[in-house]
Amino acid sequence: MIIKSVASTSGYGSGKAFRLCRGDAAGTHVMSIDEAFKAERERLSVLSVENDIFAAHLEILDDPMLSDAIEEHLAGGENPLEAVASACDDIVSMFSSIDDEYLRARVDDVKDVCRNIESRLAGNFSGSLDIPEGSVVVADEIFPSDTSRMDLSKVSAFVTRKGSVTSHVCIIATSRGIPVALGVDIDMIADGDNLIVNGNAGEVAVNPTEDELSKLAERRIVNESESEIIQEPVEYQGHIVNVYGNAGCVEDVAKAMAAGADGIGRFRTEVVFMRSEEFPTEEEQFEIYRDAALLCGDKPLTIRTMDIGGDKKMPYLSTEPEDNPFLGVRGVRLCLANPGLFKIQLRAILRAGSYGNVRILVPMVTTSAEIDRVRVLIEECKGELSAEGKEFDNSIPVGAMVETPASVFAGRAIAEKVEFFSIGTNDLTQYIMAADRGNSGVSILYNPKDIAVKNAVEVIVANAHEAGIKAGICGEAASDPEFAEFLLEAGIDSLSLSDPRMIPVTKRLIRR
Ligand code: PEP
Ligand code: MG
């Protein structure tokens, strides 16, 4: 049987279905609440010996606040699954509004604990995210915290009911070459089914027949013949259009460079932060950025400064609760609000600059004044590093992500202050179309190919060129061949792609 997905990212993956179940409020109950708590307590007690996260989960599980809230909902007539889900909602909304950093940071932990209880009640608990080698992970939705708890090297594909290709989970998966099929009717898939995910065609084959297997193999051969590596930069109508890779870790940089990337157009440093349990030190960051720079040689490594906020929260970085996080303190706004932390990152990047061709990319720029303030901090860091006798790149280029409407319409002023532009169509689309990038209810509006977004891209490229700087793109839309053709016509100078396998395909498309 072949199921169509609503959206997908490119690539192939196959393996046994591993269902990440979180319980179903309408489902049957295979154990009582007390039994579910007991089983969960036993599991967490073992795990907490080695990992503090699970110790924190154990505390939440044993906190009377949770059991009292569940009791209250049971007394109100809800079934156990509904009662746990409602109790979770109550605690999450209460924590989110409390002016206490520690409690706010516990929201995701509460959700995780409740999800596991719900799964146990429904009899579909799949343990900690201990994924067997070569699994296709099937879930209603995958949260960023799920991926940080999985060994992604064991995952060959993701299949989900909800989510969009620009969700951060999807981006992380894509950067690892893991295809994701979204909007799939996962009720058709049982745990242990043999699955083949063809992200290029947006299809998921469930227990495929011989006939289906040979059709899938044929399509794959055609696709692979298009993936021969091209090392040199390619030209479109006589002007070089660089094809860069997007990366979140040193391993991604290696994969992109091996696929013939002309450099890295966006090194997404939040991944470095998400993998850590506390704010990474300057030395830890420096080592990662230096290794990435060494892998790029003389080709550019564009390090995007921390783009935290919005849907990317770090438990150790406290932020005020916000009604509209995507319109709140995120990206450069958060960096400028925390100059001490920001300078640790800037110092690490400046130092890594002496090992290669490193560029700084600033996310969520809205005004040219933000660039001025970033530059003041960079100069302060340079002064400190000189005084300490540390080596750094004194002429490191600084670029702006263009992803807010303000940076389109006030783009000339910003272009005068930076050395390059990088268009972030993931956010630009949501802000231009006023459609949340993660909300499937408005996914029809969330379309980077809409004329409104295309017009904005043309303005951005013109702003850059008038100021004598280059404009590239690092949003996911760059991987869409149809959109890439529009970008080439619009005069784009570089495309930065999350899936390394798309690098040779895109170079071939540009040359054609
Ligand atoms: C973008 O907005 O296009 C982008 C690349 O940034 P992120 O997806 O991290 O917000
Ligand atoms: Mg963005």
Taking CA atoms, 286 is separated from 192, 290, 348, 392, 394, in Å, by 42, 6, 4, 11, 16
Q: From ligand 2's centre to the CA of 401, what distance in Å?
A: 8
CB-CB contact of 34 with 200 (8 Å): no
Tell me, using a 6 A CB cutoff, whether residue 425 lines ligand 1: yes
User: Taking the alpha carbons of 248, 496, 6, 363 in that order, is the dihedral positive or negative?
Assistant: positive
Query: Within 13 Å of residue 122, how many CA atoms lie on the same side as its CB?
Result: 22
Active-site residue among 168, 170, 335, 381?
168
Tell me, using a 6 A CB cutoff, whether residue 261 lines ligand 1: no
Q: From ligand 1's centre to the CA of 467, what distance in Å?
A: 24
Contacts of 105 (CB under 8 A, 6+ apart): 313, 315, 316, 318
Choosing from 401, 422, 436 the residue with most ligand 1 atoms within 8 A of its CB, the one to mutate for a pocket test is 401
Q: Does 168 participate in catalysis according to the annotation?
A: yes
Dig out the tokens for 495 from the structure: 């495309």
Encode the chain (512 residues) as per-residue pLDDT tens digits: 888 888 777 778 889 999 876 544 444 567 889 999 998 898 888 877 766 667 778 889 999 999 999 999 999 999 999 999 999 999 888 877 665 555 555 676 788 788 889 888 888 766 557 788 989 999 888 765 567 667 888 999 999 988 766 665 676 677 677 889 988 999 999 999 999 998 877 889 999 888 877 777 766 666 666 668 899 999 999 999 999 999 999 989 999 999 999 999 999 998 788 777 788 999 999 999 999 999 999 999 999 999 988 877 777 777 778 889 899 999 999 999 999 999 999 999 999 999 999 999 999 999 999 999 999 999 999 999 999 999 999 999 999 999 999 999 999 999 999 999 999 999 999 999 999 988 888 989 999 999 999 999 999 999 999 999 999 999 999 999 899 999 999 999 999 999 888 899 999 999 98
The number of angstroms, rounded, from the C-alpha of 396 to the middle of its chain's C-alpha atoms is 26
Paired with 245 in beta bridges are: 264, 497
Q: What number does the ligand 1 atom closest to the CA of 171 have?
A: 8
Give the ligand at the shortest distance from the Cα of 308: 1
Using a cut of 0.85, tell me whether the model's pTM lies above it: no
Paired with 235 in beta bridges are: 240
